């Protein structure tokens, strides 16, 4: 039995008025674009091009590596300047193998044959086609969409859930997307309904954003598709969390360690759906995305349609440059965003927002005090955990207790940090502790598997031994009978 | 351009342990003021003595444990322990009573068990229990409330100070002349003597539903408690469970035998019930930590308080009830883990 | 009341310290943590204590009484304890849940002050068989709850930032002291 | 005097019988103890503890023929767990049986040099090597427990240990 709506959670100031004032506009072109090969979940992509090759806008430049991986396309026409390790934002600035494309600013499109109308393709073919468009989850997980669809395809009674509930403060890229490209989202929804052979699709959006809601309802009405409906959810952080949204909209809970497909649901970000639409309808692969540039540290706060690989410094310059009160550059929102060491880092598929945060935007943490077990954190935890107990057992490194208290169910949303009077960085502690617990669990699993294989092998050797003895005994019997 | 990095989340609510403890102290002010009105400045002196000892012991313990002084000393937790302990002691108790109680509470009950956040037992109650068991006579020397119809003990502020510091009343009084039992204590002795509730209640000490003077102090405590609830410093589970349990026990027993058992309202507004429910039992460090756990914890304190008050040897059982339930907290926490999202059970 | 409190507290303290610190006396093979061991011992006490108390009561009233051998009361009860404990060990293994480990189990269970203590108290205090049953079961339940609570508390104290010099045994003794203090509230509950 | 003697002798006899009856260790108990011990061992089946695998070592531990510090792959955690389980004093792992490696290691066959002699496949206690006679062999890294039993039988010494891929 699921809990109605988000259990706990926080009512936060969205800080998106400034960034949604101006309409969407493309970012001004830049000299060179840096494309990390491992900017999606799973294995890194393998380059198809060599330094010096001439590439067109939208031409595939890297194919998926083994297992879960994604295609990569050139975001501009020009020449491949180099394939070398370059600092990347998702590695906290550490270098990772990247393709550098020198932009010749002629923007010549790669004329791939436009794919046939999606209705004629079988769901399986449609899923593969989506994969070739380099489409990955743009909500922040950057999980290859084709793989996610394939994983859920065999579930029965599938329901599609489009996540437009942008609950994290400062981020407004989905908001602007829904206002200006609602039609893309509805078209993408119909493509995905066909790709999953699903019958119902719910677009979930927070109830404090009227314009996107209006745009979407108009687009749905225009499409005359009664399978798609709009659903408003309460504006509580983290309503937009995949697990929380599924519980709010469908009233079921994703089982621990399981996937939404286990409750016959597929949850996709509206940005991903728009990317699917652009690829299937206009044969334009995922080469650019909408990025919110906001925070009191940048002069003009707005949303830009940015080609992948654009350096963040160029984006800030495009929005009028720093305002001098700049203190911290964050990729993502103020609750789960990643603080970046410098701004010479490329925009990647996961960059939904860049906050040029000034001391006004940040609330400095006070000195850390011991936990007084007040329970404020367990009251706001959307995963219904007891962060004060998790913190206690993390300090004591008691892996068994951490497992029973559900450390692996923590979605690292930071609500517990927010309300903690002792100012303890709980989310970070749990994030650091998870690998240790996972390591123990995999070690135990490997030991059990090794024991099973050892027992099977001993049984096999015994069986072979017995058969050989039996055969020997029979032969000896025949010999004695004959003689 | 390089920037400093910090872990997510980058925005936290402006809260601190000191702020939480300060709010609890503000909520205690009405009780202390009314206590002063009815029983004279004795309590204020006790509080000053207690807080001084608390800060001294806290500083010494922090130094010994090699902890930095600034954030810990002024976080207010030691001060709250001292104030709560002083509130439980008679106003004219000798100075060494509150000093030794607070010292034991801070040094042994708090720092020996791991300092702020780790002490399983409520320090104030440990201190009070030590005093109650070691000096039972001293803790029964309460004063009659300064209300019309009761002959008040007119001790000036200076005389109160000398009484506390020297441990004996000024020449013109003897101890039993100026002291009088608390309503709870009076009721216990009367019932033990075989008087029925009706007769016992007729004594001058009692008014409509609690002891004269005491009922106003307890109402002030209730107001302070509701202020804490409104500010979400404490959660409703423990007070409601404790007062609920007390009310249920009181009404059941008094319904069974009205002559021999006090009514539920009397239990709620007398002794340390309200102070215990809103300020002592809700000490987050020594209480259970999940909502269901807090309900069990509160109810346990309520029932034990009633049992000790009615059949036990001491007039007010809140201290012992809290300590016994503190002992059970790790067991309660182990079996009241809420159902995690996505878990079957 | 104080004697029963003394019996329960000493039994709980000794059992917990044994479970935590004396590997040679580990009573069971399976639960190697303090709380797991305490839980099993608590269940065993719920079974063994009433058995010993009632058998003891019967022995004194039916055997020693008529033959005026009251002076054999204590050794008799000790003998009964030494009979019941191996039977409990057998029952445990027969049910296949748990493997007891010699000499640990015999030492921890047979020298458990609660078994003999509660038997002696039941013998002295209970006039009728009904009262004996009631007292034995209530004492066993109190012992089990106290053992579980103290073991859980002990495990939590091990993980707290306790000053090094007080780390294990001293803290256990101080905790038991405060527990005794807490139970003083019941001091005149049952007239001694 | 006689009844006193009789009762005490009777009670003592009963206690003795009960104790003796309880002291018998049935066969089922002994292998349940082996199961409990085996559950703690890392299952590398490496034989460094001078026994043919983890279960034989567990059986030896159960009837006291082995000590708790003979399992290098398990390291100090396993030694401590065994000590706690069997009620013995905790001891660090004895270096005579091999050193405790910090990083998990797995075998790796240099395919170029492998002549397909199937000796290592027979030696592998957990069937972690794939191949057939006269065909190239390779180690399944995920299944290899790092027991190094495949290195001695290889005639061309083409097997080396490498850190396990994370």
Task: Report the gap between the CA of C19 and the closest CA in chain B (Å).
Answer: 17
* pLDDT for the residue numbered B71: 82
Report for A404-408, B73-77, C95-99: range of highest mean pLDDT: A404-408
Phi-psi region of C103 (alpha: psi -120 to 50; beta: other; left: phi over 0): alpha
**Cβ-defined contact of B327 to C161 (cutoff 8 Å):** no
The separation between CA B4 and the C-alpha centre of its own chain, rounded to angstroms, equals: 47
Cα B122 to Cα C182: distance, rounded to the nearest angstrom = 11
Residue B152 has pLDDT above 70, yes or no: no
| Interchain contact C94–D (C-beta under 8 A) | no
Residue A4 has pLDDT above 60, yes or no: no
D–B contact (≥3 CB pairs within 8 Å)?
Answer: no
**Mutate which: A66, A436, A454, vs D, most D CBs within 10 A:** A454
| Interchain contact C106–B (C-beta under 8 A) | no
Report chain A's mean pLDDT, rounded to a whole number.
Answer: 91
What angle (nearest 5°) sits at the alpha carbon of residue A251, between those of residues A246 and A256? 60
- pLDDT-based confidence at residue A1 (cuts at 50, 70, 90): very low
Cα D22 to Cα D25: distance, rounded to the nearest angstrom = 8
Domains and CATH numbers, chain D: 25-97 (1.10.15.40), 103-166 (3.30.70.20)
Cα B73 to Cα B116: distance, rounded to the nearest angstrom = 11
What angle (nearest 5°) sits at the alpha carbon of residue A349, between those of residues A345 and A350? 80
**Mutate which: D5, D9, D87, D89, vs C, most C CBs within 10 A:** D87
- Within the 7-46 window of chain B, which residues sit less than 8 Å (CB to CB) from chain C? none
**Cβ-defined contact of B330 to C188 (cutoff 8 Å):** no
Task: Report the gap between the CA of C185 and the closest CA in chain B (Å).
Answer: 6
Report for A210-224, B157-171, B193-207, D11-25: range of highest mean pLDDT: A210-224
Give contacts of A384 with chain B, Cβ < 8 Å. Answer: 338-341
Cα A425 to Cα A335: distance, rounded to the nearest angstrom = 12
Question: What SS3 class is residue A84?
Answer: strand
Who wins on pLDDT, C156 or D63? C156
What the block records as the tokens of A408 is 């692996």
- pLDDT-based confidence at residue A276 (cuts at 50, 70, 90): very high
Task: Report the gap between the CA of A317 and the closest CA in chain B (Å).
Answer: 12
Who wins on pLDDT, A115 or B36? B36
Q: What percent of chain B has pLDDT over 90?
A: 50
Who wins on pLDDT, B310 or A246? A246
Task: Report the gap between the CA of C180 and the closest CA in chain D (Å).
Answer: 30
**Cβ-defined contact of D145 to A450 (cutoff 8 Å):** yes
Q: Residue B330 is nearest to which of C152, C163, C171, comparing CB atoms?
A: C152
What angle (nearest 5°) sits at the alpha carbon of residue C151, between those of residues B309 and C80? 90
Q: Rg (Cα) of chain B, in Å, rounded?
A: 21
- Give pLDDT < 50 ranges for chain C: none
* pLDDT for the residue numbered A335: 92
Who wins on pLDDT, A182 or D19? A182
Write down the architecture of domain A368-483 according to CATH: Orthogonal Bundle (1.10)
Residue A39 has pLDDT above 60, yes or no: yes
* pLDDT for the residue numbered C4: 83
Q: Where are the beta strands (DSSP E) in B66-191?
A: none
Model confidence pLDDT, tens digit, residues A90-118: 988 899 999 999 999 888 888 766 667 88
**Cβ-defined contact of C87 to D26 (cutoff 8 Å):** no
What the block records as the tokens of A349 is 């598929």
**Mutate which: C148, C178, C189, C192, vs B, most B CBs within 10 A:** C178
* pLDDT for the residue numbered A114: 66
Give contacts of D142 with chain A, Cβ < 8 Å. Answer: 446
Cα A211 to Cα A23: distance, rounded to the nearest angstrom = 13
**Cβ-defined contact of C163 to B64 (cutoff 8 Å):** yes
**Residues B203-206: contacts with CB under 8 Å, at least 24 apart:** B204/B149, B204/B150, B205/B144, B205/B150, B205/B180, B205/B181
Domain ranges of chain B: 15-179, 183-335
Cα B321 to Cα B298: distance, rounded to the nearest angstrom = 10
Question: Are A62 and A47 contacting, i.e. CB atoms less than 8 angstroms apart?
Answer: yes
Q: Residue B117 is nearest to which of A247, A326, A371, comparing CB atoms?
A: A371
Residue B344 has pLDDT above 90, yes or no: no
* pLDDT for the residue numbered B30: 94
Pairing of strands A159-164, A265-269: parallel
Question: Are B269 and B101 contacting, i.e. CB atoms less than 8 angstroms apart?
Answer: no
Question: Are B188 and B260 contacting, i.e. CB atoms less than 8 angstroms apart?
Answer: no
- Within the 399-418 window of chain A, which residues sit less than 8 Å (CB to CB) from chain B? 404-406, 409, 412, 414, 417-418
Task: Report the gap between the CA of B97 and the closest CA in chain C (Å).
Answer: 17
Q: Residue C104 is nearest to which of D23, D87, D90, comparing CB atoms?
A: D87
Cα A246 to Cα A253: distance, rounded to the nearest angstrom = 7
Model confidence pLDDT, tens digit, residues A365-402: 888 899 999 999 999 999 999 999 999 999 999 999 99
Give contacts of C182 with chain B, Cβ < 8 Å. Answer: 129, 320, 323-324, 326-327
* pLDDT for the residue numbered C192: 55
Who wins on pLDDT, A11 or C22? A11
**Mutate which: C36, C159, C160, C162, vs A, most A CBs within 10 A:** C159
**Cβ-defined contact of A450 to D127 (cutoff 8 Å):** no
Question: Are D82 and D75 contacting, i.e. CB atoms less than 8 angstroms apart?
Answer: no
What angle (nearest 5°) sits at the alpha carbon of residue B7, between those of residues B114 and A20? 135
**Mutate which: D43, D46, D139, D164, vs A, most A CBs within 10 A:** D43
Q: Rg (Cα) of chain A, in Å, rounded?
A: 26
Pairing of strands A200-206, A228-233: parallel
Q: Residue D22 is nearest to which of C67, C72, C86, comparing CB atoms?
A: C86
What the block records as the tokens of A273 is 């759906």
Q: Residue B129 is nearest to which of C152, C174, C182, comparing CB atoms?
A: C182
Cα B114 to Cα B112: distance, rounded to the nearest angstrom = 6
| Residue of chain D nearest A455, judged by CA positions | D126
Who wins on pLDDT, B168 or B237? B237
Domain ranges of chain C: 2-22+35-183
Interface size between C and D, measured as CB pairs under 8 A: 77
Question: Are A159 and A198 contacting, i.e. CB atoms less than 8 angstroms apart?
Answer: yes
C-alpha dihedral over C119, C120, C126, C130, to 10 degrees? Answer: 10
* pLDDT for the residue numbered B149: 63
Q: What percent of chain A has pLDDT over 90?
A: 75
CA atoms within 13 A on the CB side of A389: 29
Q: What percent of chain B has pLDDT over 70?
A: 93
DSSP string for residues in A178-244: HHH-HHHHHHHHHHHHHHHT-SEEEEEEETT-HHHHHHHHHHHHHHT-TTEEEEEE---BTTTSHHH
* pLDDT for the residue numbered B224: 94
Give the residues across from B206 on adjacent strands: B211
Who wins on pLDDT, B285 or B185? B285
Residue of A245, A223, A228 lying closest to A160 (CA atoms): A228
**Cβ-defined contact of C86 to D7 (cutoff 8 Å):** no
Give contacts of B117 with chain A, Cβ < 8 Å. Answer: 369-373, 422
| Residue of chain B nearest A404, judged by CA positions | B337
* pLDDT for the residue numbered C3: 81
Query: Which of A165-169, C37-41, D77-81 comes out lowest in average pLDDT?
Result: D77-81
Interface size between A and D, measured as CB pairs under 8 A: 34
- Sorted by sequence, the CB contacts under 8 Å of residue B183 that are 6+ apart come out as B205, B206, B210, B211, B212, B214, B270, B271
| Interchain contact A360–B (C-beta under 8 A) | no
Check whether domain A117-289 has CATH 3.40.50.11540, yes or no: yes
Model confidence pLDDT, tens digit, residues B113-135: 988 989 999 999 999 999 998 99
Domain ranges of chain A: 117-289, 368-483
**Cβ-defined contact of D29 to C32 (cutoff 8 Å):** no
Cα C56 to Cα C116: distance, rounded to the nearest angstrom = 9
- Sorted by sequence, the CB contacts under 8 Å of residue B175 that are 6+ apart come out as B141, B168, B169
Cα C68 to Cα C72: distance, rounded to the nearest angstrom = 9
**Cβ-defined contact of A409 to B341 (cutoff 8 Å):** yes
Give contacts of B69 with chain A, Cβ < 8 Å. Answer: none
Model confidence pLDDT, tens digit, residues C107-148: 888 888 888 999 988 888 888 889 899 999 999 999 999 999
In this prediction the ipTM stands at 0.89
Residue of A280, A271, A285, A306 lying closest to A109 (CA atoms): A285
Give contacts of C158 with chain A, Cβ < 8 Å. Answer: 396
Q: Residue C161 is nearest to which of B114, B317, B334, comparing CB atoms?
A: B114
- Within the 25-44 window of chain D, which residues sit less than 8 Å (CB to CB) from chain C? 26, 28-29, 32-33, 36
Q: How would you label B97-126 residue by residue, b for 16+ Cβ within 10 Å and e otherwise?
A: bbbbbbbbbbbbbbbbbbbbbbbbbbbbbb
């Amino acid at each position: 039995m699921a809990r109605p709506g988000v259990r706990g959670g926080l009512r936060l100031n969205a800080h998106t008025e400034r960034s949604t004032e101006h309409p969407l506009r493309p970012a001004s072109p830049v000299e060179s674009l840096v494309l990390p090969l491992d900017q999606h979940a799973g294995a890194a992509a393998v380059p198809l091009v060599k330094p010096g090759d001439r590439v067109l806008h939208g031409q595939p430049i890297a194919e998926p590596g083994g297992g879960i991986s994604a295609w990569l396309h050139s975001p501009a026409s020009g020449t491949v300047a180099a394939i070398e390790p370059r600092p990347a934002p998702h590695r906290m600035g550490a270098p990772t193998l990247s393709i550098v494309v020198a932009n010749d600013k002629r923007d010549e499109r790669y004329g791939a044959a436009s794919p046939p109308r999606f209705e004629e393709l079988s769901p399986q073919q449609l899923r593969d086609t989506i994969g070739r468009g380099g489409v990955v989850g743009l909500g922040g997980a950057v999980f290859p969409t084709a793989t996610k669809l394939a994983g859920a395809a065999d579930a029965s009674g599938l329901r599609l859930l489009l996540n437009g509930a942008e609950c994290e403060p400062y981020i407004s890229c989905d908001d602007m997307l829904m206002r200006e490209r609602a039609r893309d989202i509805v078209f993408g929804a119909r493509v995905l309904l066909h790709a999953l052979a699903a019958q119902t699709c719910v677009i979930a959006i927070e109830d404090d954003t009227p314009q996107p809601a209006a745009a979407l309802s108009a687009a749905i009405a225009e499409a005359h598709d009664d399978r798609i409906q709009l659903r408003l959810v309460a504006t509580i952080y983290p309503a937009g969390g995949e697990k929380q949204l599924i519980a709010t909209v469908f009233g079921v809970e994703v089982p621990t360690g399981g996937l939404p497909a286990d409750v016959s649901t597929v949850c996709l970000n509206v940005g991903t759906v728009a990317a699917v639409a652009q690829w299937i309808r206009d044969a334009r692969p995922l080469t650019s995305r909408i990025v919110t540039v906001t925070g009191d540290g940048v002069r003009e706060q707005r949303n830009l349609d940015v080609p992948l690989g654009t350096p963040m410094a160029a984006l800030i310059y495009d929005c009028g440059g720093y305002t001098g009160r700049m203190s911290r550059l964050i990729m993502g929102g103020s609750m789960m965003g990643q603080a970046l060491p410098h701004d010479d880092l490329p925009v990647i598929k996961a960059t939904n927002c860049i906050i040029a945060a000034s001391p006004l935007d940040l609330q400095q943490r006070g000195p850390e005090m011991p936990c007084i077990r007040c329970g404020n954190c367990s009251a706001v935890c959307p995963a219904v955990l007891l962060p004060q107990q998790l913190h206690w057992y993390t300090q004591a490194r008691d892996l068994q207790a951490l497992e029973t208290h559900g450390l692996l169910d923590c979605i690292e949303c930071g609500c517990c940090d927010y309300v903690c009077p002792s100012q303890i960085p709980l989310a970070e502690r749990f994030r650091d502790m998870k690998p240790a617990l996972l390591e123990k669990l995999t070690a135990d699993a490997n030991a059990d598997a090794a024991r099973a294989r050892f027992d099977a092998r001993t049984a096999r050797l015994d069986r072979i031994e017995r058969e050989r003895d039996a055969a020997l005994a029979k032969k000896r019997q025949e010999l004695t009978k004959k003689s | 351009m390089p920037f400093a990095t910090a872990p997510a989340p980058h925005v936290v609510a402006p809260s601190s342990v000191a702020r939480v403890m300060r709010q609890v102290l503000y909520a205690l002010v009405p009780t202390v003021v009314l206590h002063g009105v009815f029983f004279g400045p004795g309590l204020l002196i006790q509080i000053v003595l207690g807080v001084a000892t608390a800060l001294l012991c806290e500083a010494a313990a922090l130094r010994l444990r090699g902890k930095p002084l600034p954030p810990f000393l002024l976080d207010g937790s030691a001060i709250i322990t001292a104030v709560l302990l002083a509130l439980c002691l008679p106003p004219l108790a000798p100075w060494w009573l509150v000093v030794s109680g607070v010292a034991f509470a801070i040094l042994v009950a708090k720092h020996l068990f791991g300092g702020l956040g780790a002490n399983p037992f409520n320090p104030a109650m440990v201190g009070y229990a030590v005093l109650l068991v070691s000096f039972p006579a001293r803790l029964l020397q309460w004063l009659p409330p300064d209300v019309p119809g009761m002959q008040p003990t007119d001790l000036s502020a200076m005389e109160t100070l000398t009484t506390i510091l020297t441990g004996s009343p000024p020449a013109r009084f003897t101890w039993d002349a100026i002291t009088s039992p608390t309503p709870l204590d009076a009721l216990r002795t009367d019932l033990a003597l075989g008087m029925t509730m009706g007769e016992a209640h007729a004594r001058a000490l009692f008014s409509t539903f609690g002891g004269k003077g005491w009922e106003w102090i307890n109402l002030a405590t209730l107001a302070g408690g509701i202020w804490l609830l409104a500010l979400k410093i404490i959660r409703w589970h423990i007070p409601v469970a404790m007062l609920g349990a007390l009310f249920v026990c009181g009404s059941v027993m008094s319904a069974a035998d009205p002559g021999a058992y006090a009514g539920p309202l009397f239990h709620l507004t007398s002794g340390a019930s309200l102070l215990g429910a809103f300020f002592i039992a809700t000490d987050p460090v020594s209480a259970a930590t999940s909502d269901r756990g807090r309900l069990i914890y509160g109810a346990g304190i309520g029932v034990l308080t009633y049992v000790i008050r009615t059949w036990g040897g001491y007039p007010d059982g809140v201290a012992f009830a809290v300590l016994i339930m503190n002992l059970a907290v790790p067991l309660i926490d182990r079996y009241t883990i809420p159902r995690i999202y996505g878990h079957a059970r | 009341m104080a004697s029963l409190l003394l019996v329960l507290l000493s039994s709980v303290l000794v059992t917990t310290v044994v479970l935590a610190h004396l590997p040679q006396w580990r009573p069971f093979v399976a639960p190697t943590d303090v709380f797991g061991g305490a839980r099993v011992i608590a269940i065993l006490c719920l079974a063994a204590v009433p058995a010993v108390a009632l058998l003891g009561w019967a022995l004194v009233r039916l055997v020693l009484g008529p033959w005026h051998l009251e002076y054999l009361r204590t050794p008799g009860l000790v003998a009964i304890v030494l009979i019941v404990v191996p039977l409990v060990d057998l029952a445990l293994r027969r049910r296949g849940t748990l493997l007891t480990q010699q000499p640990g189990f015999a030492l921890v269970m047979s020298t458990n002050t609660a078994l003999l203590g509660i038997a002696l108290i039941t013998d002295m205090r209970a006039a009728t068989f009904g009262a004996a049953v009631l007292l034995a079961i209530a004492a066993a339940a109190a012992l089990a709850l106290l053992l579980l609570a103290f073991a859980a508390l002990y495990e939590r104290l091990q993980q707290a930032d306790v000053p090094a010099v007080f780390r294990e045994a001293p803290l256990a003794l101080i905790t038991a002291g405060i527990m005794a203090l807490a139970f003083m509230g019941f001091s005149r509950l049952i007239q001694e | 005097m006689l009844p006193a003697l009789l009762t005490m002798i009777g009670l003592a006899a009963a206690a003795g019988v009960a104790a003796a009856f309880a002291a018998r260790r049935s066969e089922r108990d002994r292998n349940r103890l082996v199961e409990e011990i085996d559950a703690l061992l890392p299952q590398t089946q490496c034989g460094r503890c001078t026994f043919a695998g983890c279960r034989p070592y567990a059986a030896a531990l159960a009837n006291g023929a082995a000590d708790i510090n003979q399992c290098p792959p398990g390291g100090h955690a396993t030694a401590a767990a065994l000590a706690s389980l069997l009620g013995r004093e905790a001891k660090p792992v004895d270096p005579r049986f091999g050193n405790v490696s910090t990083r998990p290691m797995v075998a790796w066959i240099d395919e170029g040099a492998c002549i397909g002699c199937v000796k290592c496949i027979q030696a592998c206690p957990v069937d972690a090597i794939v191949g057939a006679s006269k065909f190239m062999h390779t180690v399944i890294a995920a299944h290899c427990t790092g027991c190094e039993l495949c290195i001695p039988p290889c005639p061309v010494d083409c097997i080396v240990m490498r850190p396990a891929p994370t």
